[in-house]
């Protein structure tokens, strides 16, 4: 009987451990250049066979190690980062025999706890491990830079009911990361202006953020942590709307995705009240957003985007230069 109790306690411990979240540092942007969402199919070129026929912005050399066929893995990588293509300079393939351990399922532990004191033994599976290696340089066509809407600056204006007004400008690099936080952003109003925006909590990838996926298969979500901010992100939710819960102020932040898949702030839900966000567009490009909080504070965002002329010259490759 005592042995069965110990087995049941072991089972409960297993369930507890499986429910715990493991947080990971979110530093994707420091390693991989990604473009804002855009429709298109990536193209792969091999310099000894073919080359792009249009001028492009060339990114740093990258390496890809994968167990799936190299071309498929590269296409998936480029698509996930919304890039136009890549030039492949080297490919390699190797394989070896390997063995993996297969842990017993939950039902096996339940049966073992009921009929004996012995834990079920793991099984082993032998297989051929494949490894594909690709060395490449991704690129973006110059003529598609502006339609991607890389954020360049966001001017945030806080208008208080007292008549006081303050404005600050955030500048973004080509990786979409905020380059500098003015001291004013320590204030609660500017902090609110930040954490309700998807270009902040979904696109600022750096070591100060950590994330973990939930183990809830019915309502899966991802949780972000940075200091005192805990953001629970659920998607998809109600069609094109995505919901984010901020612990502390207890906001529900409703997002919507535009045609290309980029997230925008749609509305706030605070204390059961819905605050809609007004938008001003020009040729389908978001130029301004406005919203008013429950205390009467108004927040305005003015957006400007990077132009083709802003691409660093040493990033540009001209097709005429490739022909020599």
Confidence of residue 240 (pLDDT cuts 50, 70, 90): very low
Q: For the chain, give me the number of helices (H) and strands (E)?
A: 7, 19
**What is the Cα–Cα distance from 278 to 287, expressed in whole angstroms?**
11
Q: Give this prediction's pTM.
A: 0.75
> Which of 13-27, 122-136, 137-151 has the least mean pLDDT?
13-27
Residue 238 has pLDDT above 60, yes or no: no
Q: How large is the average pLDDT for residues 137-155?
A: 96
Higher pLDDT among residues 1 and 197, named by residue: 197
Residue 18 has pLDDT above 80, yes or no: no
Residue 15 has pLDDT above 50, yes or no: no
The structural domains of the chain, with segments of one domain joined by +, span 151-305
Confidence of residue 84 (pLDDT cuts 50, 70, 90): very high
Give 216-237 pLDDT, tens digit per residue.
555 455 666 666 556 665 555 5
Confidence of residue 317 (pLDDT cuts 50, 70, 90): very high
What is the reported pLDDT for 281? Answer: 92
Give the residue carrying structure tokens 């809830």: 216
> Which of 34-38, 135-139, 241-245, 320-324 has the least mean pLDDT?
241-245
Average per-residue pLDDT in the chain? Answer: 79
**Side-chain-side CA neighbours of residue 309 (13 Å):** 0
Residue 167 has pLDDT above 50, yes or no: yes
Residue 276 has pLDDT above 70, yes or no: yes
Long-range pairs for 225-233 at CB < 8 Å and ≥24 separation?
225/23, 229/195, 229/201, 231/195, 231/201, 233/201, 233/202
Enumerate the β-bridge partners of residue 303: 154
Residue 194 has pLDDT above 60, yes or no: yes
Give 105-129 pLDDT, tens digit per residue.
655 655 555 566 666 666 778 878 8
């Amino acid at each position: 009987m005592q042995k069965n109790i110990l087995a049941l306690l072991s089972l409960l411990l297993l369930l507890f451990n499986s429910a715990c979240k493991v947080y990971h540092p979110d530093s994707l942007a420091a390693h991989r250049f990604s473009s804002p969402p855009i429709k298109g199919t990536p193209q792969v070129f091999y310099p000894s066979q073919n080359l792009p026929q249009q001028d492009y912005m060339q990114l740093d050399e990258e390496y890809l190690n994968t167990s799936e066929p190299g071309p498929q893995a590269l296409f998936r990588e480029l698509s996930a980062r919304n890039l136009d293509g890549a030039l492949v300079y080297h490919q390699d393939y190797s394989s070896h025999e390997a063995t993996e351990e297969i842990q017993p399922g939950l039902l096996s532990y339940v049966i073992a706890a009921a009929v004996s004191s012995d834990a079920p033994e793991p099984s082993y599976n032998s297989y051929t491990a494949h490894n594909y290696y690709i060395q490449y340089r991704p690129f973006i066509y110059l003529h598609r830079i502006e339609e991607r809407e890389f954020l360049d600056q966001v001017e945030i204006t806080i208008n208080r009911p007292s008549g006081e007004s303050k404005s600050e400008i955030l500048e973004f690099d080509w990786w979409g990361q905020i380059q500098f936080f003015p001291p004013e952003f320590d204030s609660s109003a500017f902090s609110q202006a930040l954490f309700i925006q998807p270009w902040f909590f979904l696109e600022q990838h750096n070591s100060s953020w950590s994330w973990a996926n939930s183990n809830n298969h019915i309502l899966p979500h991802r949780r972000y942590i940075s200091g005192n901010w805990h953001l629970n992100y659920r998607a998809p939710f109600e069609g094109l709307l995505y919901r984010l819960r901020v612990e502390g102020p207890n906001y529900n932040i409703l997002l919507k995705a535009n045609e290309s898949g980029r997230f925008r702030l749609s509305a706030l839900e605070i204390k059961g009240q819905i605050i809609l966000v007004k938008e001003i567009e020009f040729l389908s490009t978001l130029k301004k957003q406005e919203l008013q909080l429950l205390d009467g504070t108004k927040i305005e965002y003015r957006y400007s985007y990077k132009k083709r002329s802003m691409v660093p010259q040493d990033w540009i490759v001209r097709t005429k230069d490739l022909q020599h």
